Structure 1
Amino acid sequence: MEFTREIYWNVGGSALTLVPMYLLSFLAIGIMAWGFWRRIKVYRQGGELTRTDNLRERVISLLKNMLLQTRVMRVRGAGTAHGLFFWGFAILFIGTCLILLQADITDPIFGIQFLKGNFYKVFSLSLDIAGLVAMLMLLGLLVRRYLVRPRGLETSWENAFMHGLLLLILFSGFVLEGARMAVTELGTPLAIWSPVGLVFAHGLKGLGESTLLNLHLYLWWVHFALALLFIVSIPFTKLRHLFTTPANSLLAYRGPMGKMSTLNLEDESAERFGAATVKDLTWKDIFDADACTQCKRCQDRCPAHVTDKPLSPMKVVNQVGEVAFAGGEANLIDTVSRDALWSCTTCRACEDICPASIEHLRKILDMRRNLVLMEGEFPGEEVMAAMENTEVNGNPLGMPFAARGDWAQDLGIRTLAEDADVDILFFVGCYASFDKRNQNVARSFVKLCQQAGVRVGILGKEEKCCGEPMRKLGNEYLYQTLAAENIALMEGYGVKKIVSTCPHCFNTLAKDYQDLGLNVEVEHSTVFLQKLLEAGRLKLSSRDFECTYHDSCYLSRHNEILDPPRQLLKAAGARIVEMERCGMENFCCGAGGGRILAEENLGSRISQHRVEMASQTGAPVLISNCPFCLTMFEDGVKGAELEGDLKPLDIAEILAERL
């Protein structure tokens, strides 16, 4: 026998079947297109934003994330099930397209039939397995959503509708196949190439041929109607993410990670700065809400949410969408809540793990900007005091300008005002300049450079805060004032290279200052020291010790600097016991987003949560690479009553001990 089958078996391929089938199909596609057009008009409430640069890179990202499900599959369990379901459903879709191609184009027009022979056997087997995998994964996801119910997983009627519709489509497809096979293929060699359909055929064969023919005919139209319902419902339910989520890979931000947009504060035509309504955001911010699958990965990774603060990145994104689709008049800040906005540490855990390439931080930071620049609101009086200290003294700690370089008095280094002929400018930062605990880090870094023969210069009393904490808390004006003064100073001295031990200073100078005219190479101290080590200029005496290492958010997720610090520690003799959350998946210390300046009054302390993770490794030393992290860990160790069991140190201190 020939290995093939009649496409429109028992239904008929005449005009009586094909004309209504295609008319209804085109109608369904038209309704779907109309539904999306209505949503596009809502997106346009937001401001302009260009996302067509680097088109080749964007298309590659789209194909990679859609076809390979790379971002979805990063999380095992639900991510794996979703990926397998997608591939199963995609194969079924391709199979349906091949059937239509032969039945309605190649066969009637050119007399070409390709669904036969060995190709048909592979085709039939592939579709059966794909359908089975899709149905099993869908059942698994259904059990997870309705029976297991992970904490924080929200469920609506849309979820039930999607699960039910997809299961009906898959199940009715197998019943259709079983009814056809029970009449035409049972007992033939072809039947084994449709193993799932064969099971259904054996279950239906007792109905008799007449009943099977009627069952097949009526169910064929039911199955077709379910497929049309699926198409029609896409823009009106969460099924829209079939299009919007892949599209977001195409539209994703391609600039430096974590870089903030720079406001033109001299724009006299601007009615307000920051975002109070959806019209103050961009169209992409509204589109993000449609791309969100509400998988809650961002929420699970958010250190604020995990420590019982009122912030859910997932809810913020969807609240923007809700306001936009309700007319866009509601106040975003009131909708999201001030406590939620001020709780963010800007760690980028939400954006890094998001399978839909959603940009959470810009929305939060733009709303913070509006609170500060337009309303004069801050998260607390202590933050207001830090802002005033920075305006008066150039640092949030309120220390005098003249004392900024006192930590280096006996190290034999000069300020650029005394001698600008140096290899690097060490941008010290506020905490390393004034906080006694962090002054030891600055001294250690200078000793390492001196041993390697690097001429180090500092700005001393001329240096001011880089402005990063102020900017992340919404005070763009103060940030730009500080940045302009620092840039003018560094350009005046002809600085060629800047190194900082603070990831926040490094990130700001390397990325954000570029918008204001700084064009100087900037490196974090761990990268700089690792290069000296590789070049043989930095000599270390290795001594074995055990530690756990904390990746600061602004070095890891904001800049993907993971290996250099670990290489330095291993050169110093470290045996690193990694925490459960490490690398790109690390857990924040709680100081980012300007939170270093604010009291933590809601929920439990993020720093304490992190030091408890470190304690669970059994390592006696917790190594960080950031003055904010070190400060938070000193407090966290005390709060968790781990003094004597866990000692926080900076990587520079470890290395300096081994010179």
Structure 2
Amino acid sequence: MEATREIYWNVNHALIWVMYLFAFLALGGCAWGFWSRLPLYRQGKPLDRLDRLPLRLKLMVRGALTQAKVLRVQVPGTLHAFFFWGFLLLFIGTLLIMLQADFTAPLAGWTFLKGTFYKGYSLVLDLAGIIAIFMLGGLFVRRFLVRPPALPTKRDDYLAHALLFTILVTGFVVEALRMAATEVHQNPELARLSPGGLLLTPLFAGMTPAAISVTHKALWWGHFFLAMAFIVAIPWTKLRHLFTDPANYLCTDLRPKGAIATINLEDETAEQFGAARAADLAWKDIYDADACTLCKRCQDRCPAWYTEKPLSPMRVVQQVGEMALNEPQGDLCRYVTEEVLWDCTTCRACQEICPVDIEHVNKIIEMRRNLALMEGKFPGDEVRTAMGNYEVNGNPFGLAWAERGAWAEGLDVVTLESGEPYDVMYFVGCYASFDRRNKEVAKAFAKICSAAGIRLGILGKEEKCCGEPPRKLGNEYLYQTMAQENIERIKGYGVKEIVTTCPHCFNTLVRDYRELGLDIPVRHYTTFLAELVQQGRLKLQPGDSFDCTYHDSCYIGRYADIFEPPREMLQRLGGTITEMDRNRMESFCCGGGGGRILAEEKVGTRISAARVQMAGETRAPMLVSNCPFCLTMFEDGIKTGGLEGSMAARDLAELVAARL
């Protein structure tokens, strides 16, 4: 006899219309629930996130089905992913039953749930259900028994676990009752293809056929109504992420990493710059609160939270949603609090680890814009002083602009103003121009380029700060003013290529300046030098091997995906790298990003000290980086962390220059 089973066994077929009536009502309730939330999102500003639709659809399908981003956190990610796949297979199996029972069989006389296909179908669905139960159990233990620190547990979590677990278990009980009546003795070969139900059949061995029939019928309808309750609950609970997360993949930001909206400061009709209320943000910023699963991955990786500061990226996302829902005209910055907003280093660790593509950083920057542009507020007096220095001298130190190129005296470096020939323009940046320690890095880079036969040209006294620190602190006006002056001079000299030793300058010039009209290739020196070595233009002498650990600066690593060229260069130099636990995409910020290089760190542990401690745990005597902010912060962290004498901070350029 061909393997198959009667669909809707023991269920009065005359009542199937009742099942579909409630199914349509449940789907209608679910749809209405999501529809009722649309006005919440529409409070936000318009934002086109349906451009390049084929790519977006691909990202949505890949993100939802592969669970690749969920799996980046091993234990909870694996539990969630396998539960999702198991539940998805059960859902697909239910759709196939509906397809045959209500369409192919009555309309075309075609039944496909039979024979070999049905055997596989039966086995796969039972195994999927078993896996789903075990994975849900693992998630239950983690959330309610292990209770990871700061993992928020709400009413929704109890409801979701209870509904899902009851639906899965009652499904197997219903199956076991049917098998006890029709298969265990009559068709044991088919029964073995439903191991989940078969495991429970001994529970009903002593029941009469009539009792089994009544119990099966009651539980069948109970299982059905539980499933309908689950569907209705989706838009009203955190279960909504079943739909909001795939939609978030669809609406992900396709701009280059770290892109920030450029404010039109000449718009005379504008009454507000930055976000004072939830409605001042884009609709996507409000929608993110519904997509957030409260998994706290962003919080766990936030350097501010790690060092006992009040900033939780997860909480900020939720606060935006709360204000949009409960107090749309309320003071968003006061609700989130200024202290939280200023703590962010814009390291992007939160966004990179987020399994559902939530955008944390730009929300914070928009609120900072309101504080800086509309209220004239900054993290402290030291930052206010630095802003004044930028306005007068084009650098945060208040040093004379005429001294900006003094570091290059005696080197084969020319100013563009002189008209002398050069090969590549070097955008030096403020720290390499004025800071004593970072001047050594600029000199080392110039020597390296000379050894490779490349003559550097600099703007010298005509260069101003790229504007990145003020911009990240919300001062868009100051950023655009300095940026426009830099762009005007660069274009005026007909520059063909730019290289920089500062990751912050690099990101600003290669990405942000494009919106202001600069379309010139920009390189960071790590990839620039790696290419010179590969081309044979840069010769390095062999020397003694050395041990080190390497720090991936946020703006080269997470922002630009440059991870291997610096490591390859260190290995060429004879370096043996002992990696810190948090490296590459998981790297821990130095604490200087987001304009924090200008601000005193007054709460909790210093971020730089925490990172230096991580480096110290490798027992490597040298901490290598490629960012002036990182070098400055690490030298401070080594002093305050008590590692003087046992560890030294070095820039990669210094090590390369020593091997010319």
2:69 to 67, 71, 74: 71
1:56 to 44, 54, 57: 54
Equivalent residue number for residue 620 of structure 1: 621
Equivalent residue number for residue 638 of structure 1: 639
Equivalent residue number for residue 482 of structure 1: 482
Give per-residue Cα distances to partners, 1:520-559, cap 9 Å, x unaligned: 1101011111110110000011331111100000001111
For the pair 1:113 / 2:111, whether they are aligned, the reply is yes
Alignment of 1:108-257 (within 5 A): 108-187=106-185, 188-257=188-257
Alignment of 1:197-596 (within 5 A): 197-419=197-419, 421-543=421-543, 544-596=545-597
Relative to structure 2, which stretch is displaced further, 154-163 or 114-123? 114-123
Unaligned runs of 5+ in 1: none
Equivalent residue number for residue 608 of structure 1: 609
Provide the C-alpha distance between the structure 2 equivalents of 1:269 and 1:570, rounded to a whole number of angstroms: 56
Q: Return the letter of the residue paired with 1:407.
A: W
1:29 to 21, 27, 41: 27
Provide the C-alpha distance between the structure 2 equivalents of 1:69 and 1:498, rounded to a whole number of angstroms: 39
Q: Post-superposition shift, 1:266? A: 0.9
Q: Return the letter of the residue paired with 2:393.
A: N
Provide the C-alpha distance between the structure 2 equivalents of 1:377 and 1:77, rounded to a whole number of angstroms: 43
Give per-residue Cα distances to partners, 1:275-304, cap 9 Å, x unaligned: 011111111111111110010000001000
3-state DSSP of counterpart to 1:643:
coil
Provide the C-alpha distance between the structure 1 equivalents of 2:315 and 2:207, rounded to a whole number of angstroms: 52
Q: Post-superposition shift, 1:420? A: 5.0
Report if aligned partners of 1:621, 1:647 keep a CA contact under 8 Å in 2: yes
Q: Return the letter of the residue paired with 1:294.
A: L
Report if aligned partners of 1:299, 1:350 keep a CA contact under 8 Å in 2: yes
Unaligned runs of 5+ in 2: none
For the pair 1:88 / 2:86, whether they are aligned, the reply is yes
Give per-residue Cα distances to partners, 1:89-137, cap 9 Å, x unaligned: 0000000001111111111222211111111111111011000110111
Report if aligned partners of 2:414, 2:422 keep a CA contact under 8 Å in 1: no
Provide the C-alpha distance between the structure 1 equivalents of 2:30 and 2:279, rounded to a whole number of angstroms: 26
Q: Return the letter of the residue paired with 1:549.
A: Y
Q: How many residues align?
A: 657
3-state DSSP of counterpart to 2:13:
coil
Equivalent residue number for residue 657 of structure 1: 658
Provide the C-alpha distance between the structure 2 equivalents of 1:420 and 1:37, rounded to a whole number of angstroms: 65
Q: Return the letter of the residue paired with 1:261.
A: A
Alignment of 1:1-20 (within 5 A): 1-14=1-14, 17-20=15-18
Give per-residue Cα distances to partners, 1:558-579, cap 9 Å, x unaligned: 1111111111111111111111
Q: Provide the alpha-carbon RMSD of the alignment.
A: 0.8
Give per-residue Cα distances to partners, 1:629-650, cap 9 Å, x unaligned: 0000000001110011111000
Provide the C-alpha distance between the structure 2 equivalents of 1:420 and 1:105, rounded to a whole number of angstroms: 80
Provide the C-alpha distance between the structure 2 equivalents of 1:360 and 1:646, rounded to a whole number of angstroms: 34
TM-score (norm. length: structure 1) = 0.99
Provide the C-alpha distance between the structure 2 equivalents of 1:121 and 1:42, rounded to a whole number of angstroms: 47
Q: Return the letter of the residue paired with 1:573.
A: G
3-state DSSP of counterpart to 1:5:
coil
Provide the C-alpha distance between the structure 2 equivalents of 1:448 and 1:419, rounded to a whole number of angstroms: 22
3-state DSSP of counterpart to 2:547:
strand
Q: Return the letter of the residue paired with 2:133.
A: M
Q: Return the letter of the residue paired with 1:414.
A: V
Q: Return the letter of the residue paired with 2:146.
A: V
Q: Post-superposition shift, 1:414? A: 1.3
Report if aligned partners of 2:412, 2:456 keep a CA contact under 8 Å in 1: no
Report if aligned partners of 1:420, 1:493 keep a CA contact under 8 Å in 2: no
Report if aligned partners of 2:151, 2:296 keep a CA contact under 8 Å in 1: yes
Q: Return the letter of the residue paired with 1:222.
A: G
Q: Post-superposition shift, 1:223? A: 0.5
Relative to structure 2, which stretch is displaced further, 202-211 or 67-76? 202-211
Provide the C-alpha distance between the structure 1 equivalents of 2:635 and 2:34, rounded to a whole number of angstroms: 52
3-state DSSP of counterpart to 1:623:
strand
Q: Return the letter of the residue paired with 1:357.
A: D
Provide the C-alpha distance between the structure 2 equivalents of 1:55 and 1:401, rounded to a whole number of angstroms: 48
Report if aligned partners of 2:382, 2:599 keep a CA contact under 8 Å in 1: yes
Q: Return the letter of the residue paired with 1:75.
A: V
Report if aligned partners of 1:301, 1:350 keep a CA contact under 8 Å in 2: yes
Provide the C-alpha distance between the structure 1 equivalents of 2:161 and 2:468, rounded to a whole number of angstroms: 46
Provide the C-alpha distance between the structure 2 equivalents of 1:358 and 1:241, rounded to a whole number of angstroms: 12
Provide the C-alpha distance between the structure 1 equivalents of 2:370 and 2:420, rounded to a whole number of angstroms: 40
Q: Return the letter of the residue paired with 2:45.
A: G
Q: Return the letter of the residue paired with 1:279.
A: A
3-state DSSP of counterpart to 1:193:
coil
Provide the C-alpha distance between the structure 1 equivalents of 2:339 and 2:489, rounded to a whole number of angstroms: 37
Report if aligned partners of 1:258, 1:558 keep a CA contact under 8 Å in 2: yes
Provide the C-alpha distance between the structure 1 equivalents of 2:357 and 2:413, rounded to a whole number of angstroms: 46
Provide the C-alpha distance between the structure 2 equivalents of 1:189 and 1:585, rounded to a whole number of angstroms: 51
Q: Return the letter of the residue paired with 1:508.
A: T
Provide the C-alpha distance between the structure 1 equivalents of 2:546 and 2:603, rounded to a whole number of angstroms: 37
Q: Post-superposition shift, 1:412? A: 2.8
3-state DSSP of counterpart to 2:601:
coil
Q: Return the letter of the residue paired with 1:637.
A: I
Alpha-carbon spacing, 1:602–1:29, altered in 2? closer, same or farther (3 Å) = same
3-state DSSP of counterpart to 2:357:
coil
Q: Return the letter of the residue paired with 1:21.
A: M
Q: Return the letter of the residue paired with 2:38.
A: I
3-state DSSP of counterpart to 1:457:
strand
Determine what percentage of the aligned residue pairs are the same residue. 58
Provide the C-alpha distance between the structure 2 equivalents of 1:458 and 1:533, rounded to a whole number of angstroms: 23
Q: Post-superposition shift, 1:421? A: 2.7
Report if aligned partners of 2:624, 2:652 keep a CA contact under 8 Å in 1: yes
Provide the C-alpha distance between the structure 2 equivalents of 1:207 and 1:154, rounded to a whole number of angstroms: 45
Provide the C-alpha distance between the structure 1 equivalents of 2:86 and 2:421, rounded to a whole number of angstroms: 64
Q: Post-superposition shift, 1:269? A: 1.1
3-state DSSP of counterpart to 2:345:
coil
3-state DSSP of counterpart to 1:395:
coil
3-state DSSP of counterpart to 2:576:
strand
Q: Return the letter of the residue paired with 1:651.
A: L
Q: Post-superposition shift, 1:327? A: 4.3
Q: Post-superposition shift, 1:598? A: 0.1
Provide the C-alpha distance between the structure 1 equivalents of 2:614 and 2:196, rounded to a whole number of angstroms: 47
